[in-house]
Structure 1
Amino acid sequence: MTNVIKHIKSELSALYNQNEVESFVSLLLYKIGKIDRVQRLISDNIAFTHEQMILLNDAISRLKKYEPIQYILGKTEFYGLTIKTDRRALIPRPETEELVDWILHEYPKAQTVLDICTGSGCIAIGLAKQLSTAKVDAIDISCNAIDLAKENANINKAPIDFYQADILSTDSLSKKYDIIVSNPPYITISEKTDMMPNVLDYEPDLALFVDNENPIVFYKKIADLATTYLKEGGMLFFEINRKFGNEIVSLLACKGFRDIVLKKDISGNDRFIKCSI
């Protein structure tokens, strides 16, 4: 097995930092050989078969092209749940787990939830699993993303109603909600030059980017809907681009929202907003 580990490191160390390579080693050993950290500690004599080496070299080849490891593995973990991952939707990020945690802390008895721009469904599923009596709905413009989100809901036995819709062209919702949450596209086109190829070349542009001229367009639209479709005492939650936190706070204040809070993520960046109507 030592040779397998050396092989992975020798192939990838020039392209990724040490922590990333160590993570790839652990993930690939377990994915292909079901070898966990404990087995690595107690034995150096576990070898890969020819078939396993073919799988390993295929994964290494894909990593050399900067394909995300989550797409190679076909899944990731989110809030203790297994989420299927492929190019139909963005890969769930750790900071979005912080958003789910914040929602559950702020409104643990919510009975109706709407997740707008649901993507893989991770937010809706995370909330549905914790708010066991809540009715959770989720919307996305992409039919492919909706299909993936439905698969993830089934995997996790989360009862969610999914709807395909362009929220920017939506003027009404079917009911009012205790919680409306959205992690919409928020990266401007001009920020593409700062992004890594594993995101740019593989994750869907539709879920990532907004025009430079109107970077908070989704927040404006969702805030407008929330003024009508949040229940009394309900809460609106956003994940945001750190560059536009104060601008979105001002927008919400102008639209009559109260108790507006701009919250940093674990890395110290402005990342989340909550407010009430």
Structure 2
Amino acid sequence: MVSIPLRVLSDLLCQALALAIPNKLECRAIIQKLLDAYLDVDVADYMLNPLCTLSPTMQQKLVEALNRLKKQEPIQYIIGSTYFAGNHFKVTPAVLIPRPETEEWVTFLMQHLTNPTSILDIGTGSGCIAITLKQRFPEAVVTAIDISKEALAVAAYNAAQLGVAVRFIEFDILTDPLPASNWSLMVSNPPYVRMQEQTLMHANVLDYEPHLALFVEDADHVLFYRRIIQLAARHLSPNGTLCLEINEALGKKIVDLLHLANFKQISLYKDMHQKERWVTAILEDNH
């Protein structure tokens, strides 16, 4: 057993990571997440600088975590969870790590929608969007689909842990027909990174997060958007809402697709970084 002040331990771990993560603030934030998860500490503990006791098992866990961090593996996969909209969600390499930008538009939706009765989440991944919306609109019937069995297992676990009833279905959005149902809200964060953009991506994303959920071929980079918009035009209830997270470079193209499909009240929004990040549209009742 080794006893060491928490702040000293944090500093030592940061020093060990300095070459792999030269940004000191980023490095310290990652180490704090690691220690929070492994030692169950919080910000006050760092300020008070209490002694922590490390067993040989815990020492080994920290060494293994450091080695994984040095290889650019995301801290969320190492500790097995991440924070999204007030909850901790399990994440594995089978699902994308939920992003703050996604949380931003989901929060926006929750603040601006009035009680959708039925919700469909396309490409649910960890289930964070569907589960969060179900928590906000508990009376809504929520369905979430994904092509990945592994992702659906993670999403179902998260829903069970949070006590939320969401129906999860294995589904290929490009080939499978949707059930003969209508939804008042359809949402999606589909694959939208063009293959040509791989060179711009950091290793912690490119080498570890699921390419199935990230990339779309350059030859047809609005493939998923076009298909989702087609399905939404058939399966949204009159005056239903469609919300899509988008590639910042594709905003105009997606707005054009929505116009062609006769959607109205189309709005393009910028995220906290002033990048075009999501679009909403209404399928007006013209019948």
TM over 0.5: yes
Does residue 78 of structure 1 match 2:84?
yes
Out of 67-76 and 164-173, give the one that drifted further: 164-173
Asked if the contact 2:240–2:282 (Cα under 8 Å) also holds between the matched residues in 1, the reply is: yes
Does residue 11 of structure 1 match 2:19?
no
Does residue 155 of structure 1 match 2:161?
yes
1:2-52 CA deviation, whole Å, 9 max, x = no partner? 442222111112222122111122112222222322122223533433322
Query: Counterpart of 1:261 in 2: which secondary structure?
Result: strand
- Match of 2:264, as an amino acid? R
Distance in 2 (CA, whole Å) between partners of 1:6 and 1:112 is: 49
Distance in 1 (CA, whole Å) between partners of 2:45 and 2:114 is: 40
Distance in 2 (CA, whole Å) between partners of 1:203 and 1:238 is: 20
- Match of 2:9, as an amino acid? V
Aligned residue in 1 for 2:100? 94
- How many residue pairs match? The answer is 277
Asked if the contact 2:34–2:75 (Cα under 8 Å) also holds between the matched residues in 1, the reply is: no
Does residue 202 of structure 1 match 2:232?
no
Aligned residue in 2 for 1:30? 36
Query: Counterpart of 1:157 in 2: which secondary structure?
Result: coil
Structure 1 length as normaliser, TM-score? Answer: 0.97
Distance in 2 (CA, whole Å) between partners of 1:121 and 1:112 is: 16
Shift of 1:240: 0.4
Does residue 256 of structure 1 match 2:262?
yes
Shift of 1:241: 0.3
Shift of 1:253: 0.6
| Correspondence 1:45-64 to 2 at 5 A | 45-64=51-70
Asked if the contact 1:4–1:48 (Cα under 8 Å) also holds between the matched residues in 2, the reply is: no
* Gapped regions of structure 1 (runs ≥ 5): none
* Gapped regions of structure 2 (runs ≥ 5): none
Q: Point out 4+ residue stretches in structure 1 off by more than 6 angstroms.
A: none
Out of 256-265 and 23-32, give the one that drifted further: 23-32
| Correspondence 1:151-230 to 2 at 5 A | 151-230=157-236
- Match of 1:103, as an amino acid? L
Structure 2 length as normaliser, TM-score? Answer: 0.93
1:159-196 CA deviation, whole Å, 9 max, x = no partner? 01111010011333331010000100000111111111
Does residue 140 of structure 1 match 2:146?
yes
Query: Counterpart of 2:184 in 1: which secondary structure?
Result: strand
Matched-pair identity in %:
37
- Match of 2:91, as an amino acid? T
RMSD, aligned CA: 1.2
